[in-house]
């Protein structure tokens, strides 16, 4: 009351609120805000759908990421005040009115470019390479793929979102200015693409996987399904096609928009004819990656400068890179930005988890790679002799929803790749536990593999431990899981233990 006399140094609380109108103060902390908190606020504002919004929150330290900061959103305000920004009690004034007016009354109108990538193998790597390069060049990219949904380089949802559900989520994401969609066969056959048209359609390769499912009985059927991504390309867009794949070249007339071909072989007659007809190609000439047309060659980089090719020895990742370069070039991305993106994308658990991740355990090396069909096994057969002269041992699995003949065939191909194999049951689908690895084992034996060099350990966790228990000095270990976790966790824990003991 008016008669109260506070004791010396006693703190007296006059108000329970800190509103500016009731005596509160405002300090500008714009430069201190954590990027995670900034992204959360931006996404919140866009998802709410208001032109102007204030996200009011309480936090211990606004410079920390979401969890450590302890941030709690109090309200989303549709009519936030400007005074604290224009004339803060402390810190730098911010003219927030100008960008708001510029946003409300923009000059012109642009659509968000959509890139769709499909094929039997390499979809995820190519999609992530595209997203990485676009982000590296300053774009805000929405990516949907088999590992989840990623907005501006941050994972928002984990899981397989290579179908139309993932496309629908990313297309509705208001914070992005470019969209990259990994498109799987199952989603196309059952529910469609999830978008009506795309600016760039990429068709990587057509293998013999998934035959006998979703009304797909032949490689030709599979090719027709996957060709959907090039049939929905805008007339002003671009189709990117693999000239080294004869099946893809058989449906060249289905491609809409401009057509860019890519090939590992600069003497490929298909690309020579395409250049003669005025087209553009991406190819490799004397270890140089180039964009070529009738007028000129544009040098991009050497094979040795592409990290995901392991110095230019992984053919399938060279092919994936050529496809990505073609797609980026079709968006008129400057060549230096394409080059920078390609040369800074590594086969690491951080940038491309589960795709050609190599760990050096000193006595032996471990390669983690998602592979489950004959084409991926044949690719390993070409690659591994270039990586090691030692014993090659692997943890493999069949996929239960393939036909019995396909699972057996997968085993036959594996027989030509490895010296010792552990079979697990990562993905049984509708088959009884243990049936799929037995079918793979049948294929191995038909392929001439020695029975004493095969172990079946159906439990995935135990299978990883069993494989490591068989490792010897000089071995090259390949682990091909269906899902990254907990396999990645097991590998990283062993790696940490190894580093700790050094």
So what's the pLDDT on residue 306? 96
Map 328-346 to HEC letters: HHHCCCCHHHHHHHHHCCC
- pLDDT band with cut points at 50, 70 and 90 for residue 114: very high
So what's the pLDDT on residue 217? 63
Which of 290 and 205 is assigned the larger pLDDT? Answer: 290
Per-residue buried b or exposed e for 336-361, using 16+ beta carbons within 10 Å of the residue's own CB: ebbbebbbebebebebbbbbbbebeb
Length of the chain: 502
Asked whether the predicted pLDDT for residue 140 surpasses 70, the reply is: yes
So what's the pLDDT on residue 60? 92
Asked whether the predicted pLDDT for residue 242 surpasses 90, the reply is: yes
Residue 452 CA: distances (Å) to CA of 395, 445, 456, 473: 15, 10, 11, 20
Mean pLDDT of 117-145: 94
Asked whether the predicted pLDDT for residue 108 surpasses 70, the reply is: no
Task: Give the span between the Cα atoms of 242 and 343, in whole angstroms.
Answer: 22
Cα angle: 429, vertex 169, 368; to 5 degrees:
45
Lowest mean pLDDT among 63-67, 395-399, 457-461: 457-461
Any idea what DSSP says for residue 304? G
Q: What percent of the chain has pLDDT over 90?
A: 49
Mean pLDDT of 420-439: 86
So what's the pLDDT on residue 129? 97
Lowest mean pLDDT among 137-141, 143-147, 158-162, 316-320: 158-162
So what's the pLDDT on residue 213? 63
Residues 6+ apart with CB under 8 A from 38: none
- pLDDT band with cut points at 50, 70 and 90 for residue 210: low
Q: What percent of the chain has pLDDT over 70?
A: 96
298-314 pLDDT tens trace? 999 999 999 999 999 99
Lowest mean pLDDT among 12-16, 177-181, 439-443: 12-16
Relative to beta strand 258-263, strand 280-285 is: parallel
Cα angle: 468, vertex 472, 477; to 5 degrees:
55
151-165 pLDDT tens trace? 999 998 988 888 888
> 452: which 2 tokens?
């004493």
Enumerate the β-bridge partners of residue 126.
Answer: none
> 89: which 2 tokens?
């009690």
Rounded to the nearest angstrom, the gap between the alpha carbon of residue 395 and the centroid of all alpha carbons in its chain is 23
- Do residues 254 and 231 touch, judged by C-beta distance below 8 A? yes
> 402: which 2 tokens?
């393939």
65-100 pLDDT tens trace? 999 999 999 999 988 889 899 999 999 999 999 988
272-305 pLDDT tens trace? 999 999 999 999 999 999 999 988 999 999 999 9
- pLDDT band with cut points at 50, 70 and 90 for residue 106: confident
Mean pLDDT of 478-485: 83
Mean pLDDT of 381-404: 87
Mean of per-residue pLDDT scores for the chain:
89
8-24 pLDDT tens trace? 999 998 777 777 777 78
So what's the pLDDT on residue 502? 61
Any idea what DSSP says for residue 111? P
Beta strands in 126-194 (DSSP E): 141-145, 148-151, 154-158, 178-182
So what's the pLDDT on residue 192? 78
Asked whether the predicted pLDDT for residue 212 surpasses 60, the reply is: no
So what's the pLDDT on residue 322? 97
Question: Which range scores top for mean pLDDT: 16-30, 96-110, 263-277, 355-369?
Answer: 263-277
Closest CA to 183 of 164, 169, 211, 196: 164
So what's the pLDDT on residue 340? 96
35-52 pLDDT tens trace? 999 999 988 888 888 888
Angle between helices 487-500 and 460-469 (to 10 degrees): 40
Task: Give the span between the Cα atoms of 66 and 39, in whole angstroms.
Answer: 10
324-338 pLDDT tens trace? 999 999 999 999 999
Which of 135 and 218 is assigned the larger pLDDT? Answer: 135
So what's the pLDDT on residue 489? 85
- Do residues 80 and 54 touch, judged by C-beta distance below 8 A? yes
Residue 360 CA: distances (Å) to CA of 31, 396, 480, 499: 40, 20, 17, 10
pTM recorded for the entire structure:
0.75
């Amino acid at each position: 009351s008016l008669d109260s006399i506070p004791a010396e140094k006693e703190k007296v609380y006059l108000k329970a609120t800190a509103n500016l109108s009731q005596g509160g103060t405002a300090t500008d902390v714009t430069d201190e805000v954590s990027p995670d908190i900034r992204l959360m606020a931006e996404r919140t504002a866009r998802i709410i759908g208001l032109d102007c919004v204030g996200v009011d929150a309480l936090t211990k330290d606004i410079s920390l990421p979401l969890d450590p900061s302890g941030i709690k959103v109090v309200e989303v305000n549709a009519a936030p005040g400007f005074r604290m920004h224009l004339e803060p009690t402390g810190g730098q004034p911010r003219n927030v009115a100008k960008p708001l007016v510029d946003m409300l009354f923009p000059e012109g109108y642009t659509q968000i470019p959509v890139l769709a990538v499909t094929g039997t193998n390499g979809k995820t790597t190519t999609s992530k390479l595209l997203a990485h390069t676009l982000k590296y060049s300053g774009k805000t990219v929405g990516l949907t793929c088999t590992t989840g949904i990623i907005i501006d380089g941050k994972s928002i949802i984990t899981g397989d979102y290579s179908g139309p559900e993932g496309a629908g989520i990313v297309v509705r994401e208001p914070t992005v200015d470019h969209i990259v969609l990994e498109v799987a066969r199952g989603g196309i056959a059952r529910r469609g693409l999830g978008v009506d048209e795309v600016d760039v359609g990429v068709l990587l390769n057509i293998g013999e996987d998934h035959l006998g499912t979703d009304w797909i009985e032949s490689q030709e059927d599979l090719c027709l399904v996957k060709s959907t991504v090039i049939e929905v390309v805008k007339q002003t867009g671009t189709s990117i096609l693999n000239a080294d794949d004869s099946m893809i070249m058989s449906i060249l007339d289905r491609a809409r928009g401009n057509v860019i071909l890519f090939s590992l072989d600069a003497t490929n007659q298909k690309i020579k004819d395409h250049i003669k007809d005025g087209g553009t190609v991406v190819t490799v000439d004397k270890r140089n990656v180039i964009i070529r047309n009738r007028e000129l060659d544009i040098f991009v980089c050497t094979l040795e400068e592409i990290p995901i090719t392991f110095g230019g020895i992984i053919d399938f990742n060279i092919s994936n890179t050529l496809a990505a370069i073609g797609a980026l070039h079709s968006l008129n991305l400057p060549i230096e930005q394409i080059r920078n993106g390609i040369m800074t994308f590594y086969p690491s658990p951080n940038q491309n988890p589960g795709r050609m991740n190599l760990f050096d355990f000193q006595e032996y090396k471990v390669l983690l790679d998602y592979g489950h069909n004959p084409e991926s096994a044949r690719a390993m057969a070409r690659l591994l002799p270039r990586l090691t002269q030692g014993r090659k041992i692997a943890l493999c699995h069949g996929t239960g929803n393939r036909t019995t003949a396909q699972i057996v065939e997968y085993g036959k191909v594996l027989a030509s790749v490895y010296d010792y194999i552990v079979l697990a049951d990562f993905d049984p689908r509708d088959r009884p536990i243990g049936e799929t690895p037995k079918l793979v084992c049948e294929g191995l034996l038909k392929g001439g593999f020695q029975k004493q060099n095969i172990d079946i350990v159906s439990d995935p966790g135990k299978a990883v431990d069993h494989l490591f228990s068989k490792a010897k000095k000089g071995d090259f270990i390949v682990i091909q899981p269906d899902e990254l976790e907990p396999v990645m966790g097991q590998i990283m824990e062993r790696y940490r233990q190894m580093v700790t003991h050094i």
